[in-house]
């Protein structure tokens, strides 16, 4: 025979069932809220990193312009006294010291080219920066001997007025010397305000000494 539940047992069971039903949406809502907060936090972190990179890039060009004529030892002291430099982790600080030393070993005209590229990079739009990074990655995928030839052609294109660059790329001479992929690279680079010469990544501020 089946045992008949008392009234208070039925009420208790119903109450537990209702509580369980009510708890499920609450837990789901909490999980969804946590996900939204996590996405928002990640978005804010990305924006902060982007803003910091932009500030660092601008600061790098200004810093080099201000101190490039000082003796290396005085530059090093100025760098280590810089508040932004002091806020960086030790490995990043050492990287910047090494890059500053490398910068000081370059001829003056090459130093100025680096500073000019940093200044130009700072004024690129986000879309242009993304395009420059993509072109640089494509360039790195070329065989070393072809990369050197393409970079030499970029240097030639830089000497031409912008309206003549695409005409040269579409000429029979370029079609004979370069593959369609290489001419696509040349076309993309020639459309940037400052097409890269020795190294397309050189104009990126995060790769330069602060």
Least confident of 89-98, 181-190, 193-202: 193-202
Higher pLDDT, 78 or 3: 78
Give the residue from 155, 207, 150 showing the smallest Cα distance to 184: 150
Is residue 8's pLDDT more than 80?
Answer: no
pLDDT at 45: 57
**DSSP state letters, the chain:** -PPPPPHHHHHHHHHHHHHHHHHHHHHHHHHHHHHHHHHHHHHHHHHHHHHHHHHHHHHHHHHHHHHTTS-HHHHHHHHHT-HHHHTS-HHHHHHHHHHHHHHHTS-HHHHHHHHHHHHHHHTS-HHHHHHHHHHHHHHHTS-HHHHHHHHHHHHHHHTS-HHHHHHHHTSHHHHHHS-HHHHHHHHHHHTSSS--SS-GGGG-GGGS--
Q: Which of 42-46, 190-194, 200-204 shows the highest mean pLDDT?
A: 190-194
Residue with tokens 């000497």: 159
Residue with tokens 């050492």: 94
pLDDT at 20: 44
Is residue 16's pLDDT more than 60?
Answer: no
| Whether 146 contacts 181, CB under 8 Å | no
pLDDT tens digits along 119-167: 778 778 888 889 888 998 999 999 999 999 998 998 888 888 888 999 9
Is residue 30's pLDDT more than 50?
Answer: yes
d(CA 182, CA 150): 7
pLDDT at 18: 42
pLDDT at 191: 84
* Mean pLDDT, the chain, whole residue set: 75
Average pLDDT in the 21-28 region?
A: 53
Least confident of 1-10, 69-78, 176-185: 1-10
pLDDT at 68: 83
pLDDT at 210: 38
Average pLDDT in the 184-210 region?
A: 59
């Amino acid at each position: 025979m089946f045992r008949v539940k008392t009234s208070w047992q039925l009420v208790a069971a119903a109450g537990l069932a209702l509580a369980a039903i009510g708890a499920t949406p609450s837990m789901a809502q909490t999980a969804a809220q946590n996900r939204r907060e996590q996405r928002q936090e990640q978005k804010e972190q990305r924006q902060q990193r982007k803003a910091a990179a932009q500030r660092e890039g601008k600061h790098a060009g200004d810093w080099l312009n201000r101190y490039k004529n000082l003796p290396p030892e005085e530059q090093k002291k100025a760098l280590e006294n810089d508040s932004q430099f002091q806020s960086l982790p030790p490995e990043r600080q050492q990287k910047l010291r090494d890059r500053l030393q490398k910068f000081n070993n370059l001829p003056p005209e090459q130093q100025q080219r680096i500073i000019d590229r940093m200044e130009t990079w700072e004024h690129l739009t986000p879309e242009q920066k993304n395009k420059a990074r993509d072109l640089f990655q494509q360039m790195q995928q070329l065989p070393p001997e072809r990369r050197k030839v393409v970079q030499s052609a970029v240097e030639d294109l830089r000497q031409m007025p912008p309206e003549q660059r695409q005409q040269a790329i579409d000429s029979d001479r370029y079609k004979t010397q370069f593959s369609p992929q290489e001419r696509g690279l040349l076309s993309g680079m020639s459309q940037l305000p400052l097409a890269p010469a020795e190294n397309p990544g050189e104009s990126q501020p995060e790769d330069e000494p602060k």
